[in-house]
Chain A
């Protein structure tokens, strides 16, 4: 079965420090992977998707098929990055599987 694992439930860093939110997936085919974010009192929204290979709000994520990982990284965290982050993968049937999420707190 397809599965997305986010090993860290909580992650805290200081402003300006690098941050990496971990995501591992289990899928035998070619997965389509995403990061979704939910800021306090806002809706869940798409942050980025691996096929776009883009940087959004300073965040990047690289698909590593050898390690089956799709970690989200930012070199210098900002206070406004504090949010809940969900890694998700899409199956060939189109269903999105979400990880349990990582709550990121960036301290001033």
Chain B
């Protein structure tokens, strides 16, 4: 089966610029997750969607980060404006239902200069 697709693979921007990441989950997966993985740390959940509704965004820095999953399929994560500390790998994952096995994408590596 096709896996979770993410783009771009790499992105380099300057601080205060904006950036957006895209994720296409596995077909039929209702739950979609965005994780932030800073170098040397484990992934940290930013936001979780169930279909097109937000289940958990308690760890999303809402002053600069936003995410949407308008039709309950693809999702975008945006950072505006970016800070140096946002440099990380942004992982998208999906699962058939909440609480089931997560399938991860390859991630987007963001460097903020």
B is a partner of A: yes
Interface residues of A (CB under 8 A from B): 4, 9, 43-46, 49, 86, 88, 90, 93-96, 98-101
| Known pairs A90-B99, A94-B55, A94-B99; A43 contacts B42 (CB<8 A) | no
| Known pairs A94-B99, A95-B56; A44 contacts B43 (CB<8 A) | yes
Can you list 18 contacts pairing A with B, beta carbon distance less than 8 Å? A43-B105, A43-B106, A43-B107, A44-B93, A45-B103, A86-B42, A88-B42, A93-B56, A94-B55, A94-B98, A94-B99, A95-B45, A95-B56, A96-B43, A96-B45, A98-B44, A100-B41, A101-B42
Within 8 A of A (CB), among B28-48: 40-45, 48
A23 CA / B91 CA spacing, docked (Å)? 23
Interface residues of B (CB under 8 A from A): 3-4, 40-45, 48, 55-56, 91, 93, 98-99, 101-107
**What residues of A have a CB within 8 angstroms of the CB of B43 in the complex?**
44, 86, 96, 98
Closest to A86 in B: B42
A49 CA / B99 CA spacing, docked (Å)? 12
Picked from A44, A90, A94, the residue with its CB within 8 Å of the CB of B104 is A44
Closest to B45 in A: A95
| Known A86-B43, A94-B98, A95-B45; further 14 A-B contacts with Cβ < 8 A | A43-B4, A43-B105, A44-B91, A45-B104, A46-B101, A46-B102, A49-B101, A94-B55, A94-B99, A96-B43, A98-B44, A100-B41, A101-B41, A101-B42
Closest to B106 in A: A43
Q: Which of B43, B56, B103, B105 has the most CB of A within 10 A?
A: B43
Whether the pair A99, B45 counts as a contact (CB closer than 8 A) is: no
A86 CA / B40 CA spacing, docked (Å)? 12
Report the 6 A-B pairs with minimum CB-CB distance, sorted nearest first.
A98-B42, A44-B104, A43-B104, A98-B43, A100-B42, A99-B42
| Shortest Cβ distance from residue B50 to the other chain A in the assembled complex, whole angstroms | 10
| Known pairs A43-B104, A44-B104; A94 contacts B91 (CB<8 A) | no
A86 CA / B3 CA spacing, docked (Å)? 20
| Shortest Cβ distance from residue B92 to the other chain A in the assembled complex, whole angstroms | 11
